[in-house]
Chain A
Amino acid sequence: MFRKVAIKTNPLLLSKRFLHTSPKTYNAVNHTAISPSEMEHFNKLAATWWDPHGPQRILHKMNLIRMDFINDTIKSQLKLNEGIKNDEEKVFIPGWNYKNLLPSEIAGQIEKEQKAAIAAKYDALELKCLDVGCGGGLLSESLARLPVVSSVKGIDLSAEVLRVADEHKTLDPMVEAKLNYELKALEEVPKDDLYDIVTMMEMLEHVDYPAEVLKEGLAHVKPGGHLFLSTINRDFISWFTTIFMGEYVLKIVPIGTHTYSKYINDSEILEFVEDFKKEYEVVSSKGCIYLPACGWKFTSSSNVGNYFSAIRRKEKLSN
């Protein structure tokens, strides 16, 4: 009954596309198995995965903005005075627009103190990460290099690219010890393995049941942790904003809308959206665009082109 989400073929993006997650990811429905020709395409890419000047350059560039998005989100979610009882020790956070109202020196000092406090909080983090659809390991390695990351597990379904990833990580002692790759589907990750960061980059648009995959991913996020996703096509965004956010703005859904109606009508997903609201919140969304002259840049609109989203699992359930 499920219909496949149409994937627009953008030649620019084709090179970085990989079916990280085959339909096997969800309940072994395998009527959309990766075609041999596509598999061959990605096997070829495996050889040049780590050449930033090769066909994967655009993906290497994208990795930069992914990391910016993850870092920015984590820093912005740090609660400065959390857990500090003594007022003396608290960092002063004026509840008003102090930058305009206070003399610049004082405002500058306040800002400096806040920055230092955030930096100290950030430095103390020890994050455990799960990179779903890790491919050749671009993002996994970058995560593993961050001092605040204590371990990274990368999973993918292609033995070929995992071999590349495994080989590449041995070149750098800094990541080798923190990083390990496993050939497995998301649902094979033990249920009680929880992570501070779960990433699904350029992956959801390739699966038939994004909601289920996402649900699976969210289940592995620790309370207070984040799931980061990025995806490349507009169809997905429509789906996401309409269903996932519970906003039925069908007026703006473009051509092919009825494709989504299947999902919308799916009671299981609707139920999930309800659960979602209690347990998760979207804390940041950003569009981004590739400009050949200057690489990937964030845009002000998350409705066009590529798209990042950060979903936070609440510490406590809310109503």
Chain B
Amino acid sequence: MLFRRFMATAATTAKTHTSDIVIIGGGPAGLTLASAIKNSPILKNLKIKLVEGGNLIEPLEKFNESPPANFMNRVVSLTPATISYLKEIKAWDHFKEERTETYDNIYAYDGITNARIQFDCPEIATMCENFNIQSGLFQRIKELNKDNVENPLEILDKTKVIEIKSDEKNKWPVLQLSTGDSIKTRLLVGCDGYNSPARKFAGIESRGWAYNRWGIVATLKYKDDAFRFPTGWQRFLTSGPLAQLPLPDNWCSLVWSTTPELADILMKLPEEKFVAMVNAGAKLAPSEMEYLYKLAAKNDETLMEEISWRLNLFNSKLKEEEYENYPLEIESIVPNSRGRFPLKLSHADTYVEERVALVGDAAHTTHPLAGQGLNMGQGDVKSLVKVLETSTERGLDIGSKFALEGYFSERYPANHVLLGIVDKIHKIYSTDSSLLVMARSLGLDAINNTPFLKDFMVSQISNK
């Protein structure tokens, strides 16, 4: 009796759907891919589902209708190449541009010698909240769906992919969802982040290492006591770079990469003291920082005093024209905006297998010091969509590895070079061996005085 009832419900509720493409992941990569495919005249009729484990639609709608007063803490730096692609697929119109900040000045300086390099380039980068990206893309998808009632993109959020198997006959992936339904698909695209279930299903090895560093993020506000053009500040402390990236109205986004021990200390500090530590980190010498970390570990009540005393001393020694070589001091923090993320380098051995393609963090993760992670994923999307278009026009089975090969051969080398450069920068700067410090300071000064070298670096970073 019970069994029969069970069978009956199972039969009426659990369904197996068939799709041309299933995208796992509603992060920046997944949503960009979904809009780009539906924006393509050649691909728009494909049956596509996007599955996201988290709650996506409701918060994205809310963000779009009544955006929060404060900036959110997950903010990324978008390259001109990424923005031009977002414009190409007509998603950029749906972004809240007033919440983005474009800056053309990057100021990188050494944590020990304060040697510096300054990049200048029109529109070198644009700061944008992750949620703004996702929201803009989601609105674009809705707009595309209106014009494509027969084959709209279907987003299944609050739906986890629990298991992926291969169909016995044609080996297509069959995804078991947390809702009980399952989807069989010609092509599975993993935009499912670092732990990519799609990658595991395909048996693709991912290599790399943890940096043994955490990235602490927060939304901060500068004191309004002087003027600075929007600038990205990055100070290379031996524990990792401390970056302050500009947002509108004197707000900024913090990405402070540091060791797990120091991250623990910084995360536990009361917010006011945390702000003071950020200000210290932007200017003070390593020996002073060592001392301050010790006080911070005990949440010592003299910490604030120590910092302001040292900063006053530091500032008093600055010449008038040297002020501009440092960011303004931080005044406050958006409550509860502190968060931390483990940093790692990883690169999948391949991005394509029979019936599977990997995009974004599922294929590669990098240290945030060059602000490239999400941008690399955008490059992946552009390349994959082009390959899918060509393969479709040629009547290929777009799930076959043969049809997807071009994507891997185009993107892997480019990503590999970037991962390598970023890794080298991290390694050079995470040392206090005096020889290296001298070399890298000389390096920064030398680069700063060699315009063509700088131009080259700017073009590498901004993908121009």
Contact = CB atoms under 8 A, between A and B. Distances in A.
Interface of A: 52-53, 60, 63-64, 67-68, 71, 119, 141-147, 170-174
B41 interface: yes
Given A60-B402, A172-B170, 13 more contacts: A52-B400, A63-B394, A64-B394, A67-B393, A71-B393, A142-B396, A143-B395, A147-B45, A170-B170, A171-B169, A172-B186, A173-B18, A174-B186
Given A52-B400, A119-B41, A171-B169, A145 B395 contact: yes
B397 interface: yes
A142 B18 CA distance: 20
Contacts of B392: 145
Interface residues of B, number: 15
Contact of A142 (B41, B395, B401): B395
Contacts, number: 40
Contacts of B396: 64, 142, 145
B460 to A, nearest CB: 26
Interface in B135-156: none
The 5 closest A-B pairs by CB, nearest first: A142-B395, A52-B402, A145-B395, A67-B394, A171-B170
Nearest to B405: A52
Nearest to B401: A52
A90 to B, nearest CB: 22
Nearest to A120: B41
A169 B303 CA distance: 73
Given A52-B402, A172-B170, A144 B395 contact: yes
Interface string B365-393: 00000000000000000000000000011
A66 to B, nearest CB: 9
B400 A142 contact: no
B395 to A, nearest CB: 3
Contacts of B394: 63-64, 67-68, 71, 142
Contacts of A145: 392, 395-397
A171 B400 CA distance: 12
Nearest to B167: A171
Contacts of B395: 67, 141-146
A236 to B, nearest CB: 25
Contacts of B400: 52
A198 to B, nearest CB: 17
B396 to A, nearest CB: 6
A291 B265 CA distance: 59
A144 B397 CA distance: 11
Contacts of B41: 119
Contacts of A171: 169-170
A294 to B, nearest CB: 10
A42 B397 CA distance: 24
A170 B168 CA distance: 13
16 contacts: A60-B402, A63-B394, A64-B396, A67-B394, A67-B395, A68-B393, A71-B394, A142-B394, A143-B395, A144-B395, A145-B392, A145-B396, A146-B395, A170-B169, A172-B397, A173-B18
Contacts of A71: 393-394
B353 to A, nearest CB: 12
A285 to B, nearest CB: 20
